Amino acid sequence: MRITLKPVHTYWRRGQSDVLSIVILIAVIMVMSAIFIVFSMVQFGNEVSQSSIEYVASFLTNVADDIDTFMFVPGAVLTYQLPNTNYGTYNFMNSLCNITISTTSNNIINEVSGGLIYGVPPTYFSLPPGFSNVWRGSTFNGVPTSSLRDLSLIVSYQTRILMGTSMAILQFGYGNFNGVNYGTYLVMVPRVMTINGTGPAGIGYVYIPVLNLISNQGRGQVNH
């Protein structure tokens, strides 16, 4: 009686093929998971960066509202702790605005004000170069505007002061400001408010808010 043994190497090859397929499948899943995680992190950074811009813009708007409230109190000083975010940076320029009011003979007013900048890196979020938006500001007559073309940094005191008179809050797209690259950034700058006197002997007034950085711990000060 003859007994024929079946070869065993075919089973080994089949088992090796199954293991190799599982390894390839696991590798593909890991690669796809890594891509998904990176994409999710980029999207998360993008969303949080946009939220930080809106958050800081809201904070600066509240500051500007406070300044408007104290605008007619000469010598008033307001101090604020700037809110911290993990997706943007502050930058302060000490001499962003030079305000000079002069006659033919001499300078009547000469004030130097700083400007507060907050922006997010291009790696987190970026808007096209040339983008601009007026978060807070108006024309010369106090009419609200969202266009940089209509914005006036000098405001005549009128009945329409819906967007405030003392501070402008502007947003720009990708660019370099004071040596720092931003994907988008906010700039808070002072505006000059003028009140004409009534009659030939009337007294006119000029109100100028001035921004100062009083420490490197994110504290800002506004003088009038």
pLDDT tens sequence across 108-147: 777 788 888 999 988 888 899 999 999 998 888 888 888 9
CB 190 within 8 A of CB 97: yes
Residue 149 lies inside a defined structural domain of this protein: yes
Residue 33 lies inside a defined structural domain of this protein: no
Residue 20 lies inside a defined structural domain of this protein: no
Residue 62 lies inside a defined structural domain of this protein: yes
Residue 218 lies inside a defined structural domain of this protein: yes
pLDDT of residue 57: 92
Instruction: List strands edge to edge, sheet with 89-102.
Output: 89-102, 107-120, 184-190, 167-172, 132-136
Residue 124 lies inside a defined structural domain of this protein: yes
Domain extent, residue 156, equals 40-223
CB 182 within 8 A of CB 173: no
Among candidate residues 196, 204, 206, the one with its CA nearest the CA of residue 100? 206
Domain count, the chain: 1
Query: Residue 118: what are its φ and ψ, rounded to 5°?
Result: -135, 130
Residue 15 lies inside a defined structural domain of this protein: no
Residue 83 lies inside a defined structural domain of this protein: yes
Global confidence as pTM: 0.73
CB 120 within 8 A of CB 182: yes
pLDDT tens, residue by residue, 182-203: 999 999 988 888 777 666 666 6
Query: Is the C-alpha dihedral spanning 80, 90, 189, 149 positive or negative?
Result: negative
Burial class (CB in 10 A: 0-12, 13-18, 19+), 98: exposed
